[in-house]
Amino acid sequence: MRISRVIVHPITFLLLFGLIIISDSYSQSQNQINLSGKWKVTWNDGTHGPNYIDQFCRINPSIDSLRYLDVDVPMDLNIAMQKKGIVGDLNFGANYLSARWIAEQYWQYFKQFDVPAEALNKTSLLTFDRLDYLAKIYLNGEFVGSHENAFIPCTIDVTGKLKEGKNTLSIGIASGLYDVADENISDYNGALNRHLNKRHW
C-alpha cells in the first residue's frame, strides 16, 4: 500500500511527491509547495478503536502522538516498516509473509502544511498520482473525496476548502482486501476463494 503523488491545480498537492501550485501567473518555483518528505503514519486493525477507515483517519495525531511514526513520502509502507526495523528484509527468507499484517491494517497518513493568503481565491485541485489502494481523503477535517484504483490518478476539487496558514491533510489507506472478502471466485479458482486472498480483484 502506498500513496504516490498529490497535486493541486493551481494549488497542487503532491502526496508522494507533495506539491502545491498557487497560480499560473506565478513562476514555477513560486507556485509550488513541496509536500514530499516526512509524514506521520499510524495503523489500526479495526479491533481497537474505530473499525472503519473513514472514522480512523479523522483521528488527530496530537491526541496520541506516540502512536505515529515519521515516514518518508513517497515510499511503499512495506519498505517504510522495514526501514523502521518493524519488519525484516522483505527479500530474505519468509520475511515478506511475516509482514503480511501490513496489508491487513487501516493506515492514516497525516501532514500539516502552510498556504499563503494569495492562494485562497484560486481554483484548487487536489491530485494524487497514485493511491494504493482504497483511500479516503480529508482536508482540514472535512471529507473531500475517495479513490479506489492504484493505477489511475485521483483529482479532487478543493476550491474554497484551503485556509490561510496551517492546513491539515489526512489520508486513510486500506489495501482493499477486506472490501473484496465477500467476492465469490470459486468458478475462477477455488483455491483462491479465501477471506484475504483476493488480490486480483
Query: Would you state the pLDDT for residue 12?
Result: 32
- Give 2's pLDDT tier (boundaries 50, 70, 90): low
Q: Is 190 helix (H, G, I), strand (E, B) or coil?
A: helix
137, 125 contact by CB (below 8 A)? no
113, 35 contact by CB (below 8 A)? yes
Q: Which domains does the chain have, with CATH numbers?
A: 2-192 (2.60.120.260)
DSSP class of residue 86 equals S
Residue among 158, 186, 112 at smallest CA distance from 10? 158
How far is the C-alpha of 158 from the C-alpha of 190, rounded, in Å?
44
∠ Cα 196 198 199 (to 5°): 110
Average pLDDT over residues 152-164: 91
Place of cell 509482514: 99
Query: Would you state the pLDDT for residue 1?
Result: 53
Query: Would you state the pLDDT for residue 15?
Result: 38
Q: Which residue has the higher pLDDT, 32 or 166?
A: 166
146, amino acid identity: S
Q: What are phi and psi of 136, to 5 degrees?
A: -120, 130
Q: Which residue has the higher pLDDT, 182 or 13?
A: 182
Q: Is 83 helix (H, G, I), strand (E, B) or coil?
A: helix
